[in-house]
Every structure is written in C-alpha cells, then in structure tokens.
Amino acid sequence: MNIEKILLKIFNKKKYIKFKYNEIKIKNKNLYDKKIKIKLGEISLALKKKNEINFLHSGHLGDAINALALIKEISKTKKCNYYIEANKRLPDHILDRSHPFGKFFLTDKAVDMLLPLLKVQKYINIAEKYSNQLIDINLNLFRELPLNFNSDSIRWYFHLTGIHAHLHEAYVQVANHDHFQNKIVIIRSTRRKNYLINYKFLNRNKDILFLGLEDEYLDLKNEIHDLEFYDLKDFLEMAQIIKNCKLFIGNLTFGFSLAEAMKVPRLLESGPNSPLVYPNGGKGYDFYFQEHFEQLFEKIYSQ
C-alpha cells in the first residue's frame, strides 16, 4: 500500500473510497485489454469456425453442472465434448480445510462419480476425464473475468461466449430411480449454513432422506430425528433420486445445482455470505428467514 493510499484511508474516507474504485477500475481494464479480450476472441472464433467444440472444466462440482446450461444451448448447432480435470489445485488464497476435496477442486474419485451423470446427457457427444485433449473453451476462464461474482453463478458462463440459455428449461435429464420415490430430499452443507435457520419443524414429516456427506447428515440429525441417510454410488444416482423427490431442500451445494438443473420442486437455504445461486423457473424458491422457510415448505409440499 503506497503512502498516498494510507493517508487517504486515515484522513479522508471519501477520497479513499474513490481512490480504491479507480484503482480497481484500472486493474480490471488492464486485465481485459491484455488478457481477457484475446481469450474471448479465441472462443468466438472457435464457435464461428468449428462444428465440434471441446469444453474443459476443473470444478467445483456445482460449477461443472452450472456450465451445462451453456453447453446444451451450444449443442443445438455444434457437437459438444466435455472434459473434466482432476487434481487441479485450489489457489492458496482460497484453500479451505473444510473443503470436501482438500487442496483440489476435484479429486479423481469425484470426477469418476461425476462422469456417469454427464455421459447420459444426450446433448453431450463425449464426456471424459481430461488428459491433455485440445480445448476450445476453457470454462475455468470465468474465474479470471472482471465480474461481480455475487451474480447468479450459472450466468458466469454466458459471459464467456455471449450465448444465453433459457434458464426456465431443464438442462439435466436422467431416468427414474428404481427405489426412492416421493421423498423429501435434503443436501445441506455445514460450510454454507444460514444460522438463522433450523429444520426442527420437519420432525412432523416422514420419508426424509439425506444424500450429503455423513458428517453433514449427523449434524442435521440433531434437528430431524428420523432423518434417513443413503450412501450414493455415484452422482448419476444422486440425480435420479432428486428427480423423483416430492421436494428438494438444500443450501449452496452440488445437490442444489442438480435440483436446479432438473427444475424439480426445490427450496434454497440462502445466506448473507453465499448469494451465488438463485432458483430460475419452475417451483423453485429461496429463503433467508425461518418464517419464510416454513411458509414455502407448506406451499410446495401441499401441492
């Protein structure tokens, strides 16, 4: 921090805020001119010239699903291949000991669990683990864009191409699950909990199934005593169970990304620190406060 900036911060807050704004504006303009503009041009050229497009994503899981809305839209005119990278390291500044995959966006196991789901999407020509295939659109580029990342995360990908999908339409399709039907399905990350919210009122309901991590299940079982846990074989099975649910409830998780992608009846537990996901279309609602949670639950569950 230079001397001028320090003095402004101490003695003139108004000028300091303006100084910071101009500093960020110049930084973003330089980033766009020197790096982003070139990469966006390369993407536009590939979409214009090629009939087959190779996409790359390195995670997180929800991000990889959110990108499917764009891929499905592009698949209307192009053959689309989707490659998922394992073991890409998280940047040091966002390393989180509570992250389910430790220091990586996705582990090999996570990719192996994701691929069966991607392979059954009819608009995807090839879905494979990334192993240095030629890539036309690196979907990870969204992380470098000078965007406000509090916007709807699905839309981040639209700004890589200028192509927009209709978000009221489903972009994940799966077959029915053989066993689970009409359950209330919950996937609730302890990392993204809204601490103004509790689930105790659901004790009057039966047939509630938890599909997240076991420690997250045990945390919620303190509030829902008859909560059932199911250990999934892969994420295709997760999608099949969510598809057949009566209602999905979750916070900012991979599970909600799937519920959103399939447009099942769904409630999103939002919180002040994670406004990155928003329900679009269908019977999808978000809530911040307990009263509204219970009202929205009754509205959907009684239908």
Tell whether 268 and 205 lie within a shared domain: yes
Contact 211, 184 (CB under 8 A): no
Tell whether 9 and 156 lie within a shared domain: yes
CA–CA distance, 166 with 158 (Å, rounded to integer): 11
**DSSP code for 235:** H
pLDDT class of 97 with cuts at 50, 70, 90? low
Tell whether 27 and 139 lie within a shared domain: yes
Q: What DSSP string describes 95-162?
A: --TTSTTTTBSS-HHHHHHHHHHHHT-TTEEEEEE-SS---SEEGGGGGGS---TTS-GGGGGHHHHS
**CATH code assigned at 199:** 3.40.50.2000
pLDDT class of 1 with cuts at 50, 70, 90? low
170 inside domain? no
- Positions of E strands within the chain: 52-57, 79-84, 124-129, 137-138, 184-187, 208-210, 228-229, 247-250, 266-269, 284-287
Tell whether 67 and 140 lie within a shared domain: yes
**Which contiguous run of DSSP H or E holds residue 64?**
helix 61-66
Burial of 130 (0-12, 13-18, 19+ CB in 10 A): middle
173 inside domain? no
Tell whether 7 and 154 lie within a shared domain: yes
pTM: 0.88
What pLDDT sits at residue 189? Answer: 92
What pLDDT sits at residue 38? Answer: 94
CA–CA distance, 22 with 196 (Å, rounded to integer): 37
207 inside domain? yes
Q: What is the mean pLDDT of the chain?
A: 91
Tell whether 16 and 96 lie within a shared domain: yes
What pLDDT sits at residue 123? Answer: 98
105 inside domain? yes
Instruction: Show Cβ contacts of residue 114 under 8 Å, excluding neighbours closer than 6 positions.
Output: 61, 64, 84, 106, 234, 235
Tell whether 157 and 191 lie within a shared domain: no
What pLDDT sits at residue 76? Answer: 98
Q: How many domains does the chain have?
A: 2
Tell whether 188 and 156 lie within a shared domain: no
CA–CA distance, 269 with 128 (Å, rounded to integer): 32
Domain that holds residue 116: 3-161
pLDDT class of 34 with cuts at 50, 70, 90? confident
Tell whether 34 and 76 lie within a shared domain: yes
**pLDDT tens-digit readout, 220-266:** 999 999 999 999 999 999 999 999 999 999 999 999 999 999 999 99
167 inside domain? no
